[in-house]
Amino acid sequence: MTTLTSEELERRFQEKIDENQYIEPKDWMIEKYRQNMIRQISQHAHSEVVGMLPEGNWITRAPNLRRKVALLAKIQDEAGHGLYLYSAAETLGITREELLEQLHSGKAKYSNIFNYPTLTWADIGAVGWLVDGAAIINQVMLQRASYGPYARAMVRICREESFHQRQGFEIMLTLCRGNAEQKEMAQDALNRWWWPSLMMFGPNDKDSPHSAEMAKWRVKRETNDELRQRFIDRVVPQADFLGIKIPDSKLKWNETSQHYDFGQINWDEFYNVIKGNGPCNRERLKARIEAHEQGKWVRDAATAYANKRKNKAA
């Protein structure tokens, strides 16, 4: 049996990626790739789970039964996304307990967007329309990410997110076709969610430390700025259709580039939020930790039941 040198293993690893083959859990991989996949997949999982909180806030106050059922279903989908993604991260050799510990201790990040409050029912429309809309644009790309379990999880997640996006847009449409006060609520939600949604794509390419490696490993097949631009180009006509105004005085169609030009993103706000100082960071982490503690009896019961079955089978 020939033993491959680490250079040879690295060369074969990169070749596989360049040929668009998936890297699977049992395959040899560069340690830095493994660590970065754990970072990204777990942050993504945490985002799905923390992302349930701002919407959960409105389940009891949804304006009618149909809205309540759709919102409940959407939030349950997000829980499911979190679970697929935690499972995908676990295939890289980290345990669920370690992943949760990283979230609860504040070591692991989750998306900036979930640190903003949902103040009115229109915010539920804006979250579906803009937040899920941004998530889909990023995740459609990730369906072709080089790590097999992550890419496959993305396929189902994208299908569900597209229902979420339409659910949000329909809420916005209903409000915009309603009375003046309802339309004002929709406009106010757009004003507050627009800029944080643009930040979801991450820093500008020139300030994105992980982009070069993630592109080389074909996790990122498009850059933060390219995806952000696609989102803007897609959403502006939708806002026009709704009859509400995107809060950016610099927003303008550019005939030459065939894209919308847009104003400066407040990156100080972004870094402040992801460092833990956004409007709701503390509240979100507190809610997650409490939910984890209150769920201990369920985990204990499931473990006791699994042990009982194992002992019976032995």
Nearer to ligand FAQ, 127 or 285 (CB): 127
Nearer to ligand FAQ, 9 or 208 (CB): 208
Nearer to ligand FAQ, 98 or 184 (CB): 98
Residue type for 168, please? Answer: G
Task: Work out the angle at residue 103's Cα, subtended by the Cα atoms of residues 145 and 72, and round it to the nearest 5 degrees.
Answer: 75
What is the distance between the alpha carbons of residues 88 and 153, in angstroms, rounded to a whole number? 8
In the complex, the smallest distance separating the C-beta of residue 69 from ligand FAQ, rounded to whole angstroms, is 17
Structure letter (DSSP) for residue 246? -
Nearer to ligand FAQ, 226 or 261 (CB): 226
Nearer to ligand FAQ, 117 or 243 (CB): 117
What is the distance between the alpha carbons of residues 144 and 250, in angstroms, rounded to a whole number? 34
In the complex, the smallest distance separating the C-beta of residue 185 from ligand FAQ, rounded to whole angstroms, is 19
In the complex, the smallest distance separating the C-beta of residue 116 from ligand FAQ, rounded to whole angstroms, is 12
- Residue pair 278/112 in contact (Cβ under 8 Å)? The answer is yes
Q: Nearest-CB residue to ligand FAQ?
A: 51
In the complex, the smallest distance separating the C-beta of residue 9 from ligand FAQ, rounded to whole angstroms, is 24
Q: CA 79 → CA 49, 76, 104, distances in Å?
A: 6, 5, 17
In the complex, the smallest distance separating the C-beta of residue 87 from ligand FAQ, rounded to whole angstroms, is 16
Nearer to ligand FAQ, 78 or 183 (CB): 78
> Three-state SS string across 125-188, please?
HHHHHHHHHHHHHHHHHHCCCCEHHHHHHHHHHHHHHHHHHHHHHHHHHHHHCCCHHHHHHHHH
**No. of helices (H) and no. of strands (E), the chain:** 14, 2
- Strands 252-254 and 259-261, by their bridges, are antiparallel
In the complex, the smallest distance separating the C-beta of residue 296 from ligand FAQ, rounded to whole angstroms, is 24
Binding site for ligand FAQ (CB under 6 A): 39-40, 43-44, 47-48, 51, 55, 78, 109, 111-112, 127, 131-132, 135, 138, 199-203, 208-211, 214, 224, 274
